[in-house]
Amino acid sequence: MTWAEGVALMRSWCWHNLRDQSGVKWEPYSTGERIANAWLFALREGRSGQLPADLVSAFAEMAHVLGGRLEYNGASPVSNHVVNNARALLCAAAVCDNHSYAEVAVAILDDALPVLVRDGFLAEGSSHYHCLFTRWLLDITAVARSAHLDRLVEHLEPVALSLLRRCRFFAVKDPGTGRATMALFGDVSPDCSPEWLMRVLAEYARHLPAAAEAGAGEMPVDWKRCDRDGLTVIARTERRPPFENQGHRHGDVGGFVLYQHGWPIFVDVGRLSYRTGAGAALDAYGASALAHNTIIVDRLEPTVPASLSRMPFAYRNYALDSRIEESAERTTLAITHNGFNRSADRHLMHTRRISLGAGACVIEDQLAGSTSHSVETRLHLAPGATATPISGRPAAFNLTWPGGARAGLLTYSSNGTDSAGPAITIRAGHADPGEPAGWYFPKYGESVPASTLIIRDRATGRVASTCVLTFGDR
């Protein structure tokens, strides 16, 4: 798009919408995006400070409206939206040469960043939103630098660079092509695709030499990552009770994703959209534990679902410990938590051990309890992968991926007490509102059928199960 075409497009929008300040188009998030995109477009074209006077006046009006509708949520902790509000107001300060907008933006950032950033990550449980939030902070730093707000640059740049380095934590590279993909956890924003966002962040990184000075940093509290023998596992280990504001996290504590040589094996399903209520069963499914590589005990998710966030703190509270163990043969991630103690078995503890080594991934789950429990294990295969039961071998499956480039043998064993053994089903594209399964949501509003392996078992006392995935032709 040329400069003249961009100016014409902005004028067209203002002509049709500036007088009627109602509806979605004037919601604060949408208004902020318009202001920020105008400044970024001008900067890209080398025309910052050269917007026509009528558009400067229009953006001043938008900034005034946004300033009266900042997205604070009452007594709840702040959300990422207020930082995008600040980004827009700082852009408006540059476009309109009005320092008062910048003062409000700085006040918002001072208030919000200590709450939203934890261990260098956006504390809302989503890898995509972490990367989007990082892009916002980099934009803000660029605006501040162009406006010669040196003290703001000095304050924000270390935070933005730390966030940018942390984006590498979610990047999984294919050694053959060198192409990196983003491991997705939690919600995926409708603002942009993961692929586009990674390109934007890569472009920023190329112009910020300091971004290459260090790796992804120390292992964070809320996430763990292990890489060994071409296998990568990233897991959710959030040990703090979820905020009153659920952010963009899912019911994925103890859940994980698995890659082999950069190729997705077990995936986080994602979330179709933010719709709720009648007709939105598939949307709610994506945020639940059912859509993650984890276990369900006595029909309880590992932690209290977001829909029950108003339950008493004692009910929502849980303790979690995670650690990585290294040996000559394998790397093991161990996660222990008491999130299931909401059941009648009040002292129930769950330990999950994920081991990588010798071309295999071993997933061991143990429940230390005193009564009988039903346990449902879910494993979500990447789109295009298939799981075929092996005749004569109970609880064994041949796994294949598109193009025949990868194959694996998956086996399940346990100390289950049902004489018939575990009940195992494979579902793909199952849209029954009562129990959706077999889906993958690669971006907001997009659904792709994919295979989900559902294993239902029962045992008493100390429950133990093991899934072994061995790669190679079998």
Residues 6+ apart with CB under 8 A from 87: 32, 36, 105, 136, 139, 140, 143
Degrees (nearest 5) of the Cα angle 151, 143, 11?
A: 150
Secondary structure (DSSP) of 391-404: TTSTTEEEEE-GGG
Structural contact between residues 47 and 3, judged by C-beta atoms closer than 8 angstroms: yes
Torsion (CA) 269, 270, 273, 275 in degrees, nearest 10: 70
Q: Look at residue 214 in the predicted model and tell me its pLDDT.
A: 52
Q: Which position has the token pair 């208030």?
A: 111
Lowest mean pLDDT of 149-158, 320-329, 430-439, name the range: 430-439
Query: Which candidate, 65, 50, 259, 76, places its Cα nearest to that of 174?
Result: 259
Q: Look at residue 85 in the predicted model and tell me its pLDDT.
A: 96
Write out pLDDT tens, residues 376-394. 999 999 999 999 999 888 8
Query: Which candidate, 103, 107, 83, 82, places its Cα nearest to that of 93?
Result: 103
Phi (first) and psi of residue 228, to 5 degrees: -160, 135
Write out pLDDT tens, residues 290-336. 999 999 999 999 988 766 767 777 777 889 999 999 999 999 999 99
Residue 22 has pLDDT above 90, yes or no: no
For the four alpha carbons of 452, 458, 461 and 466, in that order, the dihedral sign comes to negative
Residue 106: both structure tokens together: 């700085």
- Burial status of residue 410 (CB atoms within 10 A of its CB: 0-12, 13-18, 19 or more): buried
Phi (first) and psi of residue 406, to 5 degrees: -135, 145
Q: Look at residue 435 in the predicted model and tell me its pLDDT.
A: 83
Phi (first) and psi of residue 379, to 5 degrees: -130, 125
Lowest mean pLDDT of 15-19, 415-419, 467-471, name the range: 415-419
| H helix runs in 18-72, sequence order | 28-44, 53-67
Half-sphere exposure of 398 (CA within 13 A, CB side): 10
Residue 356 has pLDDT above 70, yes or no: yes
The span from the CA of 158 to the CA of 429, in Å, is 44
Residue 75 has pLDDT above 50, yes or no: no
Phi (first) and psi of residue 172, to 5 degrees: -120, 120
Determine what percent of the chain is predicted with pLDDT higher than 90: 56
Residues 6+ apart with CB under 8 A from 74: none
Write out pLDDT tens, residues 179-198. 889 999 999 999 999 999 99
Which residues on neighbouring strands pair with residue 321, listed in sequence order?
Answer: 336
**The most confident of 31-40, 394-403, 420-429, by mean pLDDT:** 31-40
If you compute the radius of gyration of the chain from its CA atoms, what whole number of angstroms results?
A: 24
Q: Where does the pLDDT of residue 360 fall: very low under 50, low under 70, confident under 90, or very high at 90 and above?
A: very high
Q: Look at residue 452 in the predicted model and tell me its pLDDT.
A: 96
Give the pLDDT mean for 163-189.
90
Q: Where are the domains of the chain?
A: 219-474
Q: Where does the pLDDT of residue 431 fall: very low under 50, low under 70, confident under 90, or very high at 90 and above?
A: confident
Residue 77 has pLDDT above 70, yes or no: no
Q: Where does the pLDDT of residue 57 fall: very low under 50, low under 70, confident under 90, or very high at 90 and above?
A: very high
Residue 241 has pLDDT above 60, yes or no: no
Mean residue pLDDT of the chain comes to 88
Residue 233 has pLDDT above 80, yes or no: yes
Residue 231 has pLDDT above 50, yes or no: yes
Give the pLDDT mean for 203-220.
68
The span from the CA of 229 to the CA of 395, in Å, is 26
Q: Look at residue 220 in the predicted model and tell me its pLDDT.
A: 82
User: Is 405 or 368 the better-scoring residue by pLDDT?
Assistant: 368
Structural contact between residues 450 and 380, judged by C-beta atoms closer than 8 angstroms: yes
CA-to-CA dists, residue 191 to 49, 80, 274, 378, angstroms: 26, 13, 13, 30
The span from the CA of 86 to the CA of 106, in Å, is 7
Query: Which candidate, 344, 467, 333, 322, places its Cα nearest to that of 409?
Result: 467
Q: What end-to-end distance do the CA atoms of the chain give, in Å? A: 53
Structural contact between residues 359 and 229, judged by C-beta atoms closer than 8 angstroms: yes
pTM above 0.85, yes or no: yes
**The most confident of 129-143, 227-241, 277-291, by mean pLDDT:** 129-143
Residue 31 has pLDDT above 60, yes or no: yes
Top CATH class, 219-474:
mainly beta
Beta strands in 287-330, from DSSP E residues, in sequence order: 295-297, 320-326
Q: Which position has the token pair 């143990």?
A: 366
CA-to-CA dists, residue 417 to 284, 301, 344, 368, 455, angstroms: 32, 22, 19, 16, 14
Determine what percent of the chain is predicted with pLDDT higher than 70: 93
Structural contact between residues 78 and 111, judged by C-beta atoms closer than 8 angstroms: yes
Q: Look at residue 146 in the predicted model and tell me its pLDDT.
A: 86
Residue 432 three-state SS: coil
Type of residue found at 158: P
Residue 474 has pLDDT above 50, yes or no: no
Give the pLDDT mean for 411-429.
86
Residue 111 has pLDDT above 50, yes or no: yes
Q: Look at residue 448 in the predicted model and tell me its pLDDT.
A: 93
